[in-house]
Amino acid sequence: MAETVPATVPAKRKVEVLGSEEELAAALAKYVADLSDKFVREKGLFTVVLSGGYLIDLLRKLAEPPYVESVEWSKWHVFWLDERVVPKTHPDSNYKLASDGLLSKVPVVPENVYAINDTLSAEGAADDYEACLRYLVESGVLAPSAASKFPKFDLMLLGMGPDGHVASLFPGHPLLEEKERWVTFIKDSPKPPPQRITFTFPVINSSEYIALVVAGTGEVDAVHTALGNSGDAKKLPAQMVTPEGELTWFLDKDAASKL
Ligand SMILES: O=C1O[C@H](COP(=O)(O)O)[C@@H](O)[C@H](O)[C@H]1O
The conformation of residue 234, written as its DSSP 8-state character, comes to P
Query: Residue whose CA is closest, atom 12 of ligand 1?
Result: 159
pTM of the model: 0.94
93 lines ligand 1 (CB under 6 A): no
Tens digit of each residue's pLDDT, the chain (259 residues): 555 554 444 458 999 999 999 999 999 999 999 999 999 999 999 999 999 999 999 999 999 999 999 999 999 999 999 999 999 999 999 999 999 999 999 999 999 999 999 999 999 999 999 999 999 999 999 999 999 999 999 999 999 999 999 999 999 999 999 999 999 999 999 999 999 999 999 999 999 999 999 999 999 999 999 998 777 667 899 999 999 999 999 999 999 999 9
159 lines ligand 1 (CB under 6 A): yes
CB-neighbour burial class of residue 161 (10 A; exposed 0-12, middle 13-18, buried 19+)? buried
225 lines ligand 1 (CB under 6 A): no
- The CA 94 to ligand 1 mean position distance, Å, reads 9
Mutation pick for ligand 1 pocket among 51, 78, 163 (CB with most ligand atoms within 8 Å): 51
3-state secondary structure of 31: helix
- The CA 111 to ligand 1 mean position distance, Å, reads 25
Query: Residue whose CA is closest, atom 7 of ligand 1?
Result: 53
* Rounded CA separation 168/193 (Å): 11
Q: Which amino acid is at 109?
A: V
Helices then strands, counting H and E runs in the chain, come out as 7, 12
Of 140, 177, 165, the closest CA to residue 82 belongs to 165
Strand partners, 185: 197
Of 178, 172, 179, 243, the closest CA to residue 206 belongs to 243
For residue 165, CA distances in Å to 20, 53, 169, 203, 224 come to 23, 12, 6, 16, 14
190 lines ligand 1 (CB under 6 A): no
Q: Which amino acid is at 219?
A: E
Q: Is there a contact between 77 and 141 (Cβ–Cβ < 8 Å)?
A: yes
- The CA 51 to ligand 1 mean position distance, Å, reads 7
83 lines ligand 1 (CB under 6 A): no
- The CA 191 to ligand 1 mean position distance, Å, reads 9
- The CA 76 to ligand 1 mean position distance, Å, reads 22
What is the atom index within ligand 1 of the atom nearest the CA of 83?
Answer: 16
